[in-house]
Structure 1
Amino acid sequence: MLMPSEEVITDVLSKYRLLERGMFRDPSDPEIRARFHDTAYTLCVLMGRRTPLEAVRVAESRLAVLRDRKKSPDSDTMAAG
């Protein structure tokens, strides 16, 4: 399965979290509700999951892995040394 880039995951997850807060503030607002559901759907498709909660979990895990890779030395460099 192809995985989206860190930037795409971060962007969609940030939008999801922002709209999630909007839903808590005003769950009856039809515009916020529609945008939230659209973003949740997008996140599910990007992460290959059926529910937004699963998609958020996978997105956060994927971002953690990508950030850890940036922090740690390249494994190929270590093996060559």
Structure 2
Amino acid sequence: MLLPAKAEVARHLERYRAWERLLLAAPADHVVRGNFENTGYTLCVLMGKRCAREAADAAEHYLRGASSVARARGSQGRGPSRAAGTCP
């Protein structure tokens, strides 16, 4: 499965959270709501989810998981491992 670039996911997640904060501050602002919905849609497409909240959670997990796996492997002194059935 192809995964999106981490920098791209981080950038869109940051935008989503910024528009979310603005929407909470001004729920009647139609421009803010439209931008919030657009960023949510983009995050859904990137993460392969149907709900913006699920996409944001998946993006956070994706970004957090990559750094924690790298730290765990580095502390154990092992290189990257391959999952069964993946290309070399």
Tell me the TM-score range normalised by the shorter chain: 0.7 to 0.9
- For 1:55-66, list aligned pairs within 5 A: 55-66=55-66
Partner residue in 1 for 2:85: none
Identical positions, percent: 35
Partner residue in 2 for 1:10: 10
Give unmatched runs, 5+ long, in structure 2.
Answer: 81-88
Identify the structure with the greater helix proportion. Answer: 1
RMSD of aligned residue pairs (Cα, Å): 1.9
Detail structure 1 runs of 4+ shifted over 2 Å in the superposition.
69-72, 74-77
Alignment size in residue pairs = 78
C-alpha deviation, 1:57, in angstroms: 1.2
Q: Does 1:75 align with 2:78?
A: yes
Give unmatched runs, 5+ long, in structure 1.
Answer: none
- TM-score, length-scaled by structure 2: 0.79
Larger relative contact order (CA 8 Å, sep ≥ 6) = 1
